[in-house]
Amino acid sequence: MAAPDLPVISASGLDLTFQTGDGPVHALKDVALDIHKGDFVSFIGPSGCGKTTFLRCIAGLEQPTGGTLSVNDMTPDAARCARAYGYVFQAAGLYPWRTIARNITLPLEIMGYAKAEQSARVERVLELVELAGFGAKYPWQLSGGMQQRASIARALAFDADILLMDEPFGALDEIVRDHLNEQLLALWARTQKTICFVTHSIPEAVYLSTKIVVMSPRPGRISDVIESTLPKTRPLDIRDSPEFIEIAHRVRDGLRAGHADDA
């Protein structure tokens, strides 16, 4: 267990260049960032700024070509093998041939949890994402928002302290998204997890995060890191407060600056 002042995720001088048919693509350049236990960190920026790539590096799904990156004091690959994080993709990606409950047991089966333990955990996480009673349904019987909640439950089912979320609500409409944002904050407060959250939406980033990382493209790099001054408990109408609007402004300025040296 890391001490509160030691970062859970730490990157410095991180570089990643993809070799493509059209020549090398510089996806990440000199990225340095510390994420502490219990942080809610949002990554925001235009397409191609490397926010998803950075998340995938943390997950050990991409290999950086330079710099250092540690997760729980391990290499990302070792952390992946130690099942240090749960990953939520943009698409819920539930198996259509499994019920919601059996979808949530999938990681538990793979990790070899006992049968009784599996069903106890399924009950608990279904409760957490407010899907209790939907375990026996098939994915197609649920709405898009409920499917995404089920996929979050699947990522919570095993004991990972880190939750990596790649635009999980990107495909949902605004009303559902507001509701899920509220639920996600409640869930974060209850579980004390460290969350890395990739998004396109400024209000979503400001509303959710304790730390907002603004990124800019070509090459993908961090252009601003904003520590949120908002209180931990956040009702939805906090978005009308001057404080909220000020942070949103700063995010927008950061995004614009990233685009300015692009032109």
Partner 1 sequence: MRNVSPVLMVVAVLLALWYLAVPVMNIKETVTQLERGGAQVVPASAQERRGAGHFGLVAKNTFAIPATFVQDRPRLPAPHQVGAELWDGVVGKKITSKRSLVYHGSITLSATLLGFAIGAGLGILLAVGIVHSRVMDKSVMPWAIVSQTIPIIALAPMIVVVLYSAGLQGLFPKAVISAYLSFFPVVVGMVKGLRSPDAAQLDLLKTYNASTAQGFWKLRLPASMPYLFASLKIAIAAAMVGAIVGELPVQGGGLGNRMLTGSYYGQTIQIWSALFAAAILAASLVALISVIQRGTLKRMGLS
Q: How far is the CB of 205 from partner 1 (least distance, A)?
A: 22
Q: How many Å apart are CA 56 and CA 79, to the nearest integer? A: 13
- Among positions 173-202, residues that touch partner 1 (CB under 8 A) are none
Tokens for 145?
Answer: 């928002």
Q: How many residues form the binding site for partner 1 (CB under 8 A)?
A: 24
114 is a contact residue toward partner 1 (CB under 8 A): no
Q: Which stretch binds partner 1 (CB under 8 A): 30-38, 88-96, 195-203, 213-221?
A: 88-96
Bridge partners of 12?
A: 68
24 is a contact residue toward partner 1 (CB under 8 A): no
Number of Cα atoms under 13 Å in the Cβ half of residue 60 = 16
Tokens for 253?
Answer: 């300025």
Question: Closest CB to partner 1 among 25 and 61?
Answer: 61
| Residue whose tokens read 């904003």 | 226
Q: How far is the CB of 192 from partner 1 (least distance, A)?
A: 21
172 is a contact residue toward partner 1 (CB under 8 A): no
138 is a contact residue toward partner 1 (CB under 8 A): yes
89 is a contact residue toward partner 1 (CB under 8 A): yes
End-to-end CA distance of the chain: 46
Tokens for 196?
Answer: 């890395």
Question: Closest CB to partner 1 among 109 and 243?
Answer: 109
135 is a contact residue toward partner 1 (CB under 8 A): no
Peptide bond into 168 cis (omega under 30): no
Question: Closest CB to partner 1 among 73 and 109?
Answer: 109
Instruction: Kindly give, in sequence order, each residue whose CB lies less than 8 Å from that of residue 38, ignoring residues fewer than 6 positions away.
Output: 4, 192, 193, 194
- Region label for 60, one of left (φ > 0), alpha (ψ between -120 and 50) or beta (otherwise): left
Q: How far is the CB of 191 from partner 1 (least distance, A)?
A: 18
- Region label for 112, one of left (φ > 0), alpha (ψ between -120 and 50) or beta (otherwise): left
109 is a contact residue toward partner 1 (CB under 8 A): yes
Q: Could you list the residues that contact partner 1 (CB under 8 A)?
A: 59-61, 80-81, 83, 85-87, 89-91, 93, 95-99, 106-107, 109-111, 138
